[in-house]
Each structure stands twice: as C-alpha cells, then as structure tokens.
Amino acid sequence: MTTPPVTTAPVAPGPLGRWFAEAGERRYTRTRRIPLDALEGWHTDARTGDLVHDRGAFFTVRGLDVSAPEGPVPHWAQPILDQPETGVLGLLVRDFGGRPHVLAQAKPEPGNAGGLQLAPTVQATRSNFTRAHGGRTVPYLRYFRDPPSRGLVADVRQSEQGAWFYRKRNRNMIVRTTEDVEVLPGYRWMTLPRVHALLGAGDVVNMDARSVLACLPPPPGSAGRALHSGREILHWLTGVRSRAGLRTRPVPLRGLPGWHRTEHAVSHDSGRFFDVIAVEVRAGGREVRRWTQPMLRPHGTGIVAFLLTRVDGVPHVLVHAAAEPGSVDEAELTATVCCTPENYDVLPPGARPRFLDEVLAAPPDRVLFDALLSEEGGRFHHALNRYLIVAVDGPGPYEDAGTHRWMTAHQLSALLRHSHYVTVQARTLLTCLRSLTGPDGTLER
C-alpha cells in the first residue's frame, strides 16, 4: 500500500484556493481540550453519570450495553452519543452552461484536523428547519423547506456512524433550482468533477457533503448488468437481518464495565477505541463565538475500503452486511472493510475483520483511491479514516462466508432512495467511486 497521504488540506491553487483561503480568515474555530467538569451548559447526571446538556438540547453521552450472541465478542459496554433530533443536510444544484453545479460552503468544525472543509449548502438542526423564520439564521434553508416537485432530487433519512451514534439519522436532501441564487461570502458553485477531484486531494470534502453527494441519482445509462439481481440482494440482506444480531440496552455511563473516567476523559481501560473528551471552542463567522461541548475522540486511524472487481466489464464493489450498536434495524450495507486495526490487538483473533489484510497488503497499482478523510467535525475530534478502493480479481471466493456480496454502484444508488441500507462510510466510498468513473459509469483508470 502506498504511503498515507498528509492530513492537511492542500486545496488547489487558483481562484478556488484563494476563495478557500479568504473564507478561512473569516470562518474558523479554535479548539482546546478542557476538563469534563469545566463544561458549561452541560452537567454530569447525578444518578447515571451521563453527560447531558442543561436544556436537553444537542446530544447526550450515555452508556450502552451490547450483546452479540453469535459474534466473536459476545458482550461489551461502551459510551455512545444519543442525538435523537434529525438534522438537514441540503445540497442545492443548478445548471450553468448545461453543466450541473452544487452550491458548496466553506465550513469549519471544532473537531476537524485540517480546519475549513467543503460542506453542503445547508447543515441545519431540526429546530432551525422547522422554525417559522429559520431562513433568517440559516442561509438557503428556504430552498429545502417546501421544494417544488420538479426540483426534488432526493430526500431521505440516512444513518451515521453506528459505532458512535445511537440510532442517529440526518435528512439528506438534494434540490435542483432554476432560480438566480445570490452567492453569499463563503459559498461557491462548483461542478461535480471539481468536487470529485478535491476528494482525493486531502481532507477537504466534509462527511456531510460526501454523504449527500452519494444520494445523487446515478448517471443515466450507467446501470450495467449486475452479478446479483436486486431481489437476490434484498433476500440476502433479509436473511442476515433475521439472524440474532445485536441487542442493545441503554445503561448508566457511570460504572460502565471496562471504562473509567478521569479529569479529562472517559476512556477504555485498554487505551483503545475512543475517549469522550470536553473542548472549548472559539469561533469566527458564527453567531455563537464561544462554547464548550463533549466530543468523541477516536484512537488510531480507521481503514475503510471497498474491494472492487469487474464482472463482464461492469465494476462491482464488495459490500458487507453488518450491524453496529447504534443501528436502527440490524445490518446495513457497509464497506468491505470498516475498522480501526489497532483495536483488534485487544480483541479475540476471531474478531479481526475479513479482508483487512488483503487491503493492507494491496500492491500500489491495485489501489484506485486512497485518501485520509475525516468524519463529522461537530461531534468527532480528529476522526480520520483512510478511505481506499482496491481492485481485485473477482468475483472469486469473496462471498463464501455469506457476509459480503458484490454489488454495482447503481444498485447501491437504488437502495439509497430508502433509509436503513447504506452506512455513512459506504456512502463516502460511493462518492469516491464516482470520482473515478466517467459519465457513463466506466472506470477511468
């Protein structure tokens, strides 16, 4: 495998780079860690030890008890972020010169490793979205509140990190407009190829943008013949979901087995997995200029990879049907490999993910995509995953264990019209895969 790319965000020179640099002068966050007890507006619940916002807003850090009777780790406990509110990730699309452009914003988040990132047009909480005059505080929100039918491209609630969030969903919306749209400072129309090119160029395109871009319908004529019919895929997934998967039960954060709380963090006794920390944030270009909040800080860099093969010339990726503690409905379709390798040093050998070694040992000429990208910087502190697409000769024996199936990008897109099918990591990879393919769906390398 090639050397990991650097984590800072080298946005290309030229007008785009200048716009990004200028935006970064006005919009920024400075984050520093503080003791958990120094959180303001948050408290430790006297009975449970959960970290709770004083008004019950934002999210809660709870404990979760997880049973996986048929898995290699049959039982564990962990902290988890419980954020029941559904926010809106909205992407505005407009044609200029016959080519679709998306309205991106340059947005900083406290947990970002590299500062400013490209975000969707709108990232709004539910209260922003439903408030009568919400349009005043969140720019462009009005385009998403009652879109005309002809402009509605996608509107679907999608899951986020089921290992860290308890049943979290955000509403991914794409709306096409023909109106003249005022471009505010910090916003910019960009072509899809331009956004795609930035995906592989460092940690620039944020998780929310990658997620909502994955909900774009596939290019017409790009279907190709799939190894398995859609009905077979659903049959397989129904079978996986009907087995005894994970059973979860919220439990107090205080006294969570295997975890301990210090002045600065809730940590696993092994030092692996993640910490719950507290930060103070000072921000420019936002209404609120200073706040404190808990964040989840993972240990180690994750590996998120699709194996890819061509079947009769049509690219297929190997999806993994896997349940996570925060899944709403058992297994979703995720990357072939989606893990933090170091964690398996403290887990039974049987827990080591299938195909991880194959990804790590891939010769450079089989690595089609390779970039360090960060997860949502509003909740996760320096959560970097190395996203890879690795070509293999297939279909081969990869499906033998019943946990993985070869699917086309078109098939994943069809399922993305609905909730509960494709994880946020697989959505990122689908967007990365599109960055490699031409308008007809063929791989460009």
Which of 235, 260, 289, 290 touches a second copy by CB under 8 A? 235
Closest CA to 426 of 226, 215, 121: 215
Shortest reach from residue 356's CB to a second copy, in Å? 28
Which of 33, 53, 126, 286 touches a second copy by CB under 8 A? 126
Shortest reach from residue 12's CB to a second copy, in Å? 35
Write out the binding residues for a second copy, residues 143-182 only, by CB under 8 A: 147, 149, 152, 155-157, 171
Shortest reach from residue 60's CB to a second copy, in Å? 12
DSSP class of residue 445? -
Whether residue 184 contacts residue 348, with contact meaning beta carbons closer than 8 Å, is answered with no
Locus of tokens 């970097």: 384
Write out the binding residues for a second copy, residues 348-387 only, by CB under 8 A: none
Binding mask 73-92 for a second copy (x = CB under 8 A): -----------xxx-x----
Residue with Cβ nearer a second copy (215 or 388) = 215
**Rule CB under 8 A: is residue 142 a binding residue for a second copy?**
no
Shortest reach from residue 329's CB to a second copy, in Å? 6
The two tokens of residue 56 are 């019950």
**Rule CB under 8 A: is residue 137 a binding residue for a second copy?**
no
Between CA 87 and CA 264 the distance in angstroms is 29
Size of the site for a second copy (CB under 8 A): 32
Closest CA to 239 of 250, 249, 228, 248: 228
Shortest reach from residue 138's CB to a second copy, in Å? 15
Q: What is the pairing mode between strands 51-53 and 302-311?
A: unpaired
Shortest reach from residue 48's CB to a second copy, in Å? 13
**Cα distances (angstroms) measured from residue 290 to each of 44, 106, 117, 393:** 21, 19, 20, 52
Strands (DSSP E) contained in 202-313 are: 247-251, 259-261, 265-268, 274-284, 290-298, 302-311
Between CA 372 and CA 129 the distance in angstroms is 32
The two tokens of residue 111 are 């947990």
Helices (H), 80-228: 126-130, 134-137, 142-145, 192-199, 207-214
Which of 2, 8, 130, 262 touches a second copy by CB under 8 A? 130
Which of 16, 181, 197, 328 touches a second copy by CB under 8 A? 328
Shortest reach from residue 231's CB to a second copy, in Å? 6
Between CA 166 and CA 379 the distance in angstroms is 13
Which of 62, 268, 420, 434 touches a second copy by CB under 8 A? 420
For binding to a second copy (CB under 8 A), which residues are involved?
Answer: 84-86, 88, 126, 129-130, 147, 149, 152, 155-157, 171, 229, 231-232, 234-235, 238-239, 241-244, 247, 328-329, 417-420
